[in-house]
Structure 1
Amino acid sequence: MKLDKTLLALATTVLLWATAFPAIRVALDGYGPSQLSFLRLAVASLALGAAAPSLGVRRPARTDLWRIALAGGAGMSAYQLLLNWGEIHVPAGTASLIVAAVPAMSAVLAAGFLGERLTPAKTGGSLVALAGAALIAVSGKESGYTAAAWAVLAAACSQAVYHLTVKPLLRRYTGFEVATYAMWAGTALLAPLAPSAFRAALGAPAGATAAVVFLGILPSAAGFAVWGYAVARLSVTAATAALYLVPAVTLAASYLWLGERPRPVAILGGLITIAGLILLNKRRSPVNHIPAPSPSPAIPPRHHS
C-alpha cells in the first residue's frame, strides 16, 4: 500500500509539472518573467499557508534555516526566473526536454554530497543525458533561442540543487512542511518584485492571470507537496527517474493546448537524454560483491519539474 501511494504521488507530480510548461507560455502573454515568478510563488505560498494549520506544520529549527533558504533560493526563486525567461524563446515542449536532465544532475550531486553510489552505468547515463540536453541548447539558429535554452538548462541545475538540499530536511519534516518552507523562502527572496507584479496584474489578460493561479496552486503548491511525499520514501535517483516521463506528457499537452511542434533536433536531443536516464537507472544484478547496508524505511538513499 505504501508503494502504491508513492507511485501515485510520483504520477501526480509528473502530470502537474508537465502541464506547467505550456501554462508558463500562456502566462507570459500578460506577464514578464520576473513578474510571473513572484506571482506564481506568492499564490503557492498563500495556498500552502491556508492548509498549514490543519496539517500541523511546525516551526523549523534554526539550524535548518540556511538549508531552507538554499532550497527556496535554488528550487523556487532561481528555477522560476530562469525557466520563465527561457520560455520566452524556447517552446514549452522543448523546455521540458531540457529540464529532463534534472535526474542526471541530481544523481551526480547526490553522489558528491550525500554519498550515494555512482556506478559506471550511472556515470555514463548522466553524461549521455547531459549531452542530449546540451544538444538541444546549442541547436537553435537564433541567438535568443540559444541563450534562452542555456537559461532553461541552468534552471534544471537549480532544481537538481533543490532535490539535493531537501533530502536531509525530509528526515525531520514532512514533505508538505518542506515544500511549504521552501516556497515561503523563495517567495520572500522575490518580494522586491511584488510592486511590478501587482501593476502587471491590473492590465493582464484574464487567460494569463488564470494561468498564473493554475501554476501557483497546482504545479507549485500541490506538485511540490506530493513530490516531497514521494522523495522522502525513495532515493533521490529513484524518485527523480520518474521525471523523465514529464517531457512526453508536456509534448502532448503543448500540442493540444498551444499547437506547438518541437524541432526534430529537439526531439533527438530529448531521446538522447531519456536514453541516458534509462542507463542511469539501470540496475546491475549483484555478482560477488558485498551488498550495501539497507537504508532506513523512512528515507532510502537516492528530482519534476
Structure 2
Amino acid sequence: MTYPDIIDDIRARAPKLRGRLLANQPLSDLTWFRVGGPAQVLFTPADDEDLGLLLAALDPGLPVTVIGLGSNLIVRDGGVPGVVVRLGGKAFGSVEIDGESLRVGTAVPDMRLAKSAAEAGLDGLAFFRGIPGSVGGALRMNAGAHGGETTDVLVEARGVDRRGALRVFTHAEMGFAYRHSSAPDDVIFTSALFRGRPGDRAAIEAEMERVTAAREAAQPIRERTGGSTFKNPPGGKAWQLVDAAGCRGLTVGGAQVSEMHCNFLINRGGASAADIEGLGEEVRRRVRETSGVELHWEIKRIGIAA
C-alpha cells in the first residue's frame, strides 16, 4: 500500500522541525517479526522540544503511533496511517547515573539499562536483562521478567502529550498493573527515572548471566519472533494452556507456534503479518474451546490489514 504524501503539509504546519520525516517508509525491517507495511510518515524527532513541536502542529484527527525496538510488535500488512514516531539518537538514548538513581532515555534497550546499573553497582534492575524491548515499552506495559517488574524500580516518567506539552508522572500516576500502565494513551514517554540499591557488581552480573542463560535455554530468541504472545491469565501460565490445546508447532502460512516455547510465535520465513496474527487468533480460539480461558494479547498490533 502507498499512502498520500503529507510531509509538505506537516512541514508547513511546523517549519521549525529539526527531526527526520520520511514518507511511506517500510516498517518491516524495524520489527523482530520482519513483517508489515509502511508508515505513512515516519518521524524521528531531534529531542523532546522537537517532538512537542510536531505533536502540537498536527491535525488532531491525524493518527500518531509510537514504536520502539519492534520486539513486541506486529505491524499489519496494510501499514500504519498517519505519523509513526520512533525515538532514537543521543536525546533519547542516554543513561545518566547519579548515586542510586538512573535517568534513562526511552530509546535505551532494557538490556542496556540492566548493564549500566550493574556497572554502577546498583542492584534491583538485573531483571531488565531478560526483556528484549526498550525503556519506553517497559513503561507502557509494566514489563517484567524473572521476578521483577518496571513498577518495582520506577520513580517517575516524563513524556510529551498530543498537545505538545511536557508531562511528568509519578510512580503512583503511572497506574501500574500486570503488563499494564494506565498513563494517558496520547503521551509519548521520552525519559524515566529509576532507583536501584547498592549491591555487589560481581553478584549483579552473575544474576544477569543467570537470566541470560535461562532465556536462551527456554525461548526461541534466535528466531524471527515477538516475545511472549499472550499475557498469563490469573493464576495460570499462557504457555501451558496453549500446549494443552494442542497448539505447539501449529502453523498458519509461514507462521508457527514455537516448538521450544509455545507462548512464542515465529516467522519461519515468508510469513505475512496476517499469518502471524491469524495464528494467534486461532490459538486463542482453541484455548477458549479447551479450557474456557480467554487469552489476551501481550504483543502490540498496529496498522490496518492489506
Q: Please state which structure has a larger fraction of its residues in strand.
A: 2
Higher helix share: 1
TM above 0.5, yes or no, is no
TM bracket (short chain): under 0.3
The structure with the largest alpha-carbon Rg is 2
Higher relative contact order (CA 8 A, sep 6+): 1
